[in-house]
Each structure stands twice: as C-alpha cells, then as structure tokens.
Amino acid sequence: MAVCKNSAELREIAIGEIAYHPQNPSVQTGVWRDEIVERIKAWLKENGAYPQEHAVRVRPHNGGYQLVAGHHRIKAARDAGIDRVWAWVRDMDDVGRGVLRQLYLFREERARHENRPPFRVISNRALVGLAAQRPQNRRELPRIKGISESMARRYGQGLLNAIQRGKEHPLSWKDRPRSDNNHGSRPNGRPAPAAQARFEALRQWRNAKAQERGVEPDIVLNNQALWSIAILNPHSRQELTGDGLLARWQVDEYGDELLAVVARAH
C-alpha cells in the first residue's frame, strides 16, 4: 500500500529515473559539498540504502522524475552504486504551488488575526486540496476535504482571492529569485566560507519554519533565494528587496527573521 502525506506519495524509484533539477545551485555550478557527499556515501556503504524517513522529494517530469530536494543524497547514492531510493512524489504543478503559497500566506494572516495556530484555522490537507482542485466559487469550497460549510462562509472570499493570486503568480523555477549576485564568492565560483555559513544558517531556519507551518521548504523560500541572501549579506529590509532579490510579501513575512539569522551567522 502506498504511503501518502499532504498529497505526496512515497514510492521506491529506480535512481536512473531521477534527473537533477537544472537550476539547483550545485548542478548549475558543478560545485558539490564534497564532505556531505562523502559522509552520506560512507553511511550508505555501511547500511546499504536510505530508510524511508530519508526519502528525497521529486516530481514527475518527461516520463521520469525530477528532483525537488535531495540532490546531495542522490549524488552520493549514485557514487555508492545504489540502484533504488525512496522518494516522495508530488504531482502538483507550478500553478498549484503558487496557489498553495498564497493560501499559506492567507492562513498565516488569519491565524495572527485570530490568535490561533495556523493548522487550527485551516488544515494542511485542506490547503493542499484547495491548491490542487482550485475551486472557482464559494459553492465549490465545501467539496474540498477539510473545508466545512461554516469555513466556506467565514473564509470563502479570502480563499478564492488567494487562489486567484496564485494562478496569476505560479511558483516556477524560472520565476524564482536570481542568484547571479556574486558578492562573497571565490574566483572559481565556490561561495566564500562566510557565505556558506550564512546559507547553512538560513537553510536551517527555513526548514524549521516549513516544518512548523506544515509545508514544503520551497513554499517558504527556495535554495536559490537563500544563496542570494547568504552571498549578499544584507543588513536592512531595503537590501532584501533590491534588484528583485525577494518579493515584497516575502520581506513583509520573513524580513526581520532573515536579517537576524544572517547577523547571528557572522
């Protein structure tokens, strides 16, 4: 029986069917964190394969799968001769991911207004269902599992507005913040140690925030955005919005926390 979580299905996949994402920073630069790869390879040689709790994340692509998260794990597995890995497979497209991001932000705003935990406002499963099915009017909202008639009356227009915003702003790789800023980089393209330290601190913050909110890390901020922040080393909210680094909603939502993480990483 397949295991499912938040509309993703856990499957064991042949590693040959999995392609790296072309816009992953390590794939783009050819620079991998060798110490991580070697540590994972050593673990794999001792244990044989990844357990399910270390599953990578992929999405269907060109008859196979494309990595969303877990590039170093897959590289290490290939180097170690592992044939199959566990993966969470999510079929949601870029529009659905954009809708999910807007629904997540709407829920956050309502949770702050009502002084309630976000999952008490609308469940994660309901958000995913809304993002996948994208109802067009209030009558269709209660058809989504987890959305009651009373919730449709209370939040209906806000949910519909969030869905529309997400449709207009898909969350695709080509639309994500650029990482062409090279402040703090070495001549060979490898980020300087200080920038790497900031990236790791930002990544840990992002992953914790995503776990707290019950969403995928990319819904909070993707790795390209984290690298851009780590390399820029900003000291103000204005710097975070400069040159299209982050969108205004991202700065409003996370700006102060990001600046604090960067400052602590020095």
Distance of CA 218 to the CA centre of its chain: 1
pTM of this prediction? Answer: 0.50
DSSP letter string over 18-76? EE--TTSHHHHH----HHHHHHHHHHHHHH-S--GGG-EEEEEETTEEEEEE-HHHHHH
29: exposed, middle or buried (Cβ count in 10 Å: 0-12, 13-18, 19+): middle
Name the residue ranges covered by the structural domains of the chain. Answer: 3-89, 94-168, 176-264
Structurally, what CATH architecture does the domain formed by 176-264 represent?
Orthogonal Bundle (1.10)
> Would the CATH topology of 94-168 be identical to that of 176-264?
yes
> Does the 3-89 domain belong in CATH 3.40.50.300?
no
Residue 11: CA atoms inside 13 Å, Cβ hemisphere, count?
17
Strand partners, 60: 65
**Residue 85 is which amino acid?**
V
CA 111 – CA 128 distance, rounded (Å): 17
Report the topology of domain 94-168.
DNA polymerase; domain 1 (1.10.150)
User: Torsion angle of alpha carbons 117, 210, 206, 69, nearest 10°?
Assistant: 180
CA 86 – CA 14 distance, rounded (Å): 9
Q: Map tokens 């040959």 to a residue.
A: 16
CA 162 – CA 99 distance, rounded (Å): 7
Residue 233: CA atoms inside 13 Å, Cβ hemisphere, count?
17
pLDDT tens for each residue of the chain, 266 residues long: 444 454 567 778 888 888 888 777 777 777 778 788 888 888 877 777 777 667 777 877 777 887 777 888 888 888 888 888 888 777 677 788 889 889 988 988 888 788 877 778 998 888 888 988 899 999 999 999 899 999 999 999 999 999 999 998 887 644 444 433 444 434 345 667 888 889 999 999 998 887 777 666 777 888 878 888 988 899 998 888 876 677 777 788 889 999 999 999 87
